[in-house]
Amino acid sequence: MQRTTNSRYHGQPETLENERINRKECRVSNVTTRTDRATNRTAVCHHSSKISLGVSTMDLTICLTFCLLLVSFLYLALTRKGSKNLPPGSLGFPLIGQSFELLRVMQTNKAEQWLQERSRKYGPVSKFSLLGTPTVFIHGHSANKFIFTCDANVLGNQQPAPFRKICGERNIMELTGDDHKRVRGAIVSFLKPEMLKQYVGKMDEEVRDYLEMYWHGAQKVMVMPLMKTLTFNIMSSLLFGIEQGERRNNLLELIRSMMNALSSLPINLPFTRFHHSLKASAKLRTLIQDLINERRAALEQGIAIPNRDFITCLISIGKNDPSICMSDEEIIDSTIAVMIAGHDTSSVLLTFLVKLLGTDQSVYANIMREHEEIAKSKTLEELLTWDDLAKMKYTWSVAMETLRMNPPLLGSFRKVLKEFQYEGYTIPKGWQVIWATNMTHMDERIFPDPTKFDPSRFEKQTPIPPYCFVAFGGGPRICPGNEFARIETLVTIHYLVTRFRWKLCYSDNPISRMPFPVFRNGMPIEIEPKDTVRIH
Ligand code: HEM
């Protein structure tokens, strides 16, 4: 891992980098199509080069008209109302539907308002269309319960096409029924609290190394890209067993370019972002396959233990019972999905927490008290333990309230495998259903005065009823990484508040959803180390 020792300003905002790439892409994609009248041939000009396709304009027009008619016919067949009582709302133009509208509101961080507006206009069940798939939006506490507990033969899991193509068809989020249970069981065997207890020290070391590398000696840092680096480092160590060095740097590069196109249109042409993501994903697969082979050999030679890291754990899972064994493809696809699921979500939470602690003095003072108490009971070089984390109750309530108000995931999709009735409406097979976190989190019947930041909501004796706080989802697909997220968040906040003071240094910091929230300016802060001398 490179250390930018001379720089006083750590963490380039990824978004700026992306913008540069985008601009480059725009230039490269400056392709124009023209018709050469003399030869009646269509030619494609790319800068100065001309490539004759050898197809007459007439042929092309007939072909295009035929395709358009076919697509429109299929679309109408799929969305035909007939005698069915379909939910209200427009499906928009064939194929396009509301895709660009939703992309636009996500880019300006208005997706929540967009969904609220739909609800006001059409009620609790409405339809629209995304990338050619008719989509039903349902929301609220009982809608969440319905989606999270619905028979998997009626509502299956399916992520949007870019995610599916990038992660692979056998990743946990695409699997249903027994396959999902088997793969989830294997993943949970690594992510369950009893297992993660033994990794608290390892996470602690990663956080200290990271602060040493990027925060100590700096006066200003960009929080968002640096939180991504931190969560990546932790995942890299625990999931892949890859420590700092060239291999981790290669992994980081691949994962970053792979994740670039998660919410872009799945158009695989040489100049598209999606194309580059697919290429990075292919390279990453080779890297993970190499790791699987290495770990398998180490296990056979008895020089690795099954709990060494996530990948070794997944390989070992079916050793005594082949019925729960995972194929290499499932291990690769699910490792990529877990990496994506855990990387941006936790980094978003940490970024919002740093922002909150830079603005809310009362929350900051309470958190400080909790962590100073723990720090006092340890020497500087002693690692945090599972018991220390149990004392950070207030900090976790603050994190939960942050997740309520700023859920990293807007919601997610389910695929309709069998037609069903919901609230008097028919939801046809082949459509998809989307649920939204914020609609329940901002419901004043569940969370009174919902726009007020109030961590005490999560400190009460009576827990919040099921399907009301859904930042981690619910039912059999509830986030299996919530304990992992809790540990990395608490460890990081402990070292941030006990070793640094900071103040936000921006006047405007717009947020986009891509699909996770991104602080477009990276969220710069000015930092100052506290008196504690670090010994490590
Ligand atoms: C603040 C942090 C996190 C949040 C808010 C979050 C949120 C969610 C949500 C809402 C779902 C359910 C999606 C659905 O129902 O379709 C989910 C699923 C999932 N999450 Fe997380 N997550 C977080 C951290 C993590 C971490 C750290 C990991 C891994 C180490 C992880 C791994 C997964 C996996 C594998 C699934 C799919 C589960 C399945 O399909 O059975 N998440 N997450």
Q: What residue type is assigned to position 90 of the chain?
A: S
**Distance, CA of 147 to CA of 41 (rounded, Å):** 53
DSSP code, position 159 = -
**Weakest-pLDDT range from 53-62, 209-218, 391-400:** 53-62
Q: What is the pLDDT of residues 290-317, one digit of tens each?
A: 999 999 999 999 998 888 899 999 999 9
Q: Which two tokens stand for residue 226?
A: 């640096």
- Tell me how far the alpha carbon of residue 341 lies from the centroid of ligand 1, in angstroms: 5
**Distance, CA of 116 to CA of 132 (rounded, Å):** 22
Q: Which two tokens stand for residue 232?
A: 């990546």
User: Which of 314, 338, 479, 513 for a ligand 1 pocket mutation test, highest count of atoms within 8 Å of Cβ?
Assistant: 479
pLDDT above 70 for 48: no
Is residue 2 domain-resident? Answer: no
Q: Which two tokens stand for residue 90?
A: 């427009």
Nearest-atom number in ligand 1 for the CA of 337 is 35
Residue bearing the bigger pLDDT, 107 or 27: 107
- Tell me how far the alpha carbon of residue 483 lies from the centroid of ligand 1, in angstroms: 10
Residues with Cβ within 8 Å of residue 226, at least 6 apart in sequence: 10, 11, 214, 215
Residue with tokens 């477009």: 520
Which amino acid residue places its CA nearest to atom 27 of ligand 1?
A: 342
User: Which of 203, 345, 467, 470 for a ligand 1 pocket mutation test, highest count of atoms within 8 Å of Cβ?
Assistant: 345
Is residue 218 domain-resident? Answer: yes
What whole-number percentage of the chain has pLDDT above 90?
A: 70
Q: What is the pLDDT of residues 107-166, one digit of tens each?
A: 999 999 999 999 999 999 999 999 889 999 999 999 999 999 999 999 998 787 888 889
Query: Which residues, in sequence order, are bridge partners of residue 221?
Result: 10, 525
Q: What is the pLDDT of residue 267?
A: 87
**Distance, CA of 241 to CA of 202 (rounded, Å):** 11
Averaged pLDDT, 185-196: 95
| Burial per residue of 453-465, b for 16 or more beta-carbon CB atoms within 10 angstroms, e otherwise | ebbebbeeeeeee
Is residue 169 domain-resident? Answer: yes
For residue 465, cis peptide bond before it (omega within 30 degrees of 0): no
Nearest-atom number in ligand 1 for the CA of 413 is 16
Q: Which two tokens stand for residue 49?
A: 């080069």
Nearest-atom number in ligand 1 for the CA of 488 is 27
Is residue 1 domain-resident? Answer: no
Averaged pLDDT, 525-531: 93
Q: Which residues line ligand 1 (CB under 6 A)?
A: 172-173, 184, 187, 191, 337-338, 341-342, 345-346, 349, 403, 408-409, 412, 471-473, 477, 479-481, 484-485
Is residue 536 domain-resident? Answer: no
CATH number for the domain spanning 128: value is 1.10.630.10
- Tell me how far the alpha carbon of residue 494 lies from the centroid of ligand 1, in angstroms: 23
Long-range contacts of 420-428 (CB under 8 A, 24+ apart): 420/154, 422/125, 422/136, 422/138, 422/146, 423/124, 423/125, 423/138, 424/85, 425/85, 425/86, 425/87, 425/125, 425/136, 426/84, 426/85, 426/86, 427/87, 427/136, 428/78, 428/84, 428/86, 428/134
Is residue 535 domain-resident? Answer: no
Averaged pLDDT, 46-68: 44
Which amino acid residue places its CA nearest to atom 6 of ligand 1?
A: 472
Q: What is the pLDDT of residues 360-413, one digit of tens each?
A: 999 999 999 999 999 999 999 999 999 999 999 999 999 999 999 999 999 999
Residue bearing the bigger pLDDT, 34 or 271: 271
Is residue 396 domain-resident? Answer: yes
Long-range contacts of 78-85 (CB under 8 A, 24+ apart): 78/134, 78/428, 78/430, 79/129, 79/134, 84/426, 84/428, 85/424, 85/425, 85/426
Nearest-atom number in ligand 1 for the CA of 473 is 10
Q: What is the pLDDT of residue 34?
A: 34
> How many domains would you assign to the chain?
1
Which amino acid residue places its CA nearest to atom 43 of ligand 1?
A: 479
Q: What is the pLDDT of residue 77?
A: 54
Residue range(s) defining the domain that contains residue 175 = 9-41+46-529
Nearest-atom number in ligand 1 for the CA of 437 is 10
Is residue 331 domain-resident? Answer: yes
The rounded Cα 398 to chain-centroid distance in angstroms is 21
Nearest-atom number in ligand 1 for the CA of 414 is 16
Averaged pLDDT, 174-190: 94
| C-alpha closest to that of 398 among 421, 368, 425 | 368
